[in-house]
Amino acid sequence: MYWATTLFLVAAAVAAVAAAAPADRDAIRVARTAQNAAIAAGDLDRAATFWTEDVTVRRALGQSLSGREAARRALEPPTPPAPRLIYQRLTKDVEASPKWPLAFETGIWEGHQTTIAGPVVIGGRYSAQWVKRGDRWLIRSEVFVALTCAGVGCESVAVP
């Protein structure tokens, strides 16, 4: 009887973990879509709520950012006459850990000129580490790598 009960409990735990993984992946995809919408709308305060306070970001050309406020400021529009870039992250894959409240996201990113429907002037690949805090997934770190560029300014950008 003991072994049957133990086996049942182990099977139930495995089933619960397996069921949580798709739900966690879906929750992360929904969160990323909501952050993209906030960025496109210019609601940077809302966009910042998807990061942990201590988020670290490695920007596309290598600049390091530390903390939610620094990451938020990086999304602020430049001083005119430079056009605003609307950054979008397009998730390709999300893998959630069955053991820890961690997940790994990869995809491509695009910088659209002026509006989300504007031309893509810079883009590349990204990865993100997500951490589950309570019932919410938050981004703890992101790495962006610029791979494409079009238009004014591409030739004059120096990579540190």
At 42-86, the pLDDT tens digits run: 999 999 999 999 999 999 999 999 999 999 999 998 888 888 899
Band of the pLDDT at 16, cuts 50, 70, 90? very low
Q: Is residue 113 part of a domain?
A: yes
- Evaluate whether residue 97 is within a structural domain: yes
Is there a domain that residue 100 lies in? yes
Q: List the CATH number of the domain containing 107.
A: 3.10.450.50
Question: Residue 150 carries which DSSP code?
Answer: -
Q: Is 137 helix (H, G, I), strand (E, B) or coil?
A: strand
Q: Kindly state the DSSP code that residue 122 receives in the 8-state scheme.
A: E
- Reduced to 3 states (helix: H, G, I; strand: E, B; else coil), residue 121 is strand
Q: Supply the range of the domain harboring residue 15.
A: 2-149
Q: Give the type of residue at 74.
A: A
For residue 154, tell me if it sits in a domain: no
In a domain, 160, yes or no: no
Tally the domains of the chain.
1
Residue 93 lies in a domain: yes
- Answer with the residue of higher pLDDT: 131 or 6: 131
pLDDT of residue 81: 80
Residue 135, domain member (yes or no): yes
Quote the CA–CA distance of 43 and 55 in Å, as a whole number: 19
pLDDT in tens, 103-148: 999 999 999 999 999 999 999 999 999 999 999 999 999 999 999 9
Write the DSSP assignment of 59-103 as a string of letters. -TTS-EEESHHHHHHHTSPPSTTSPPEEEEEEEEEEEE-SSSSEE
Cα–Cα distance measured from residue 140 to residue 137, given in angstroms and rounded to the nearest whole number: 9
What six digits make up the tokens of 35?
């952050």
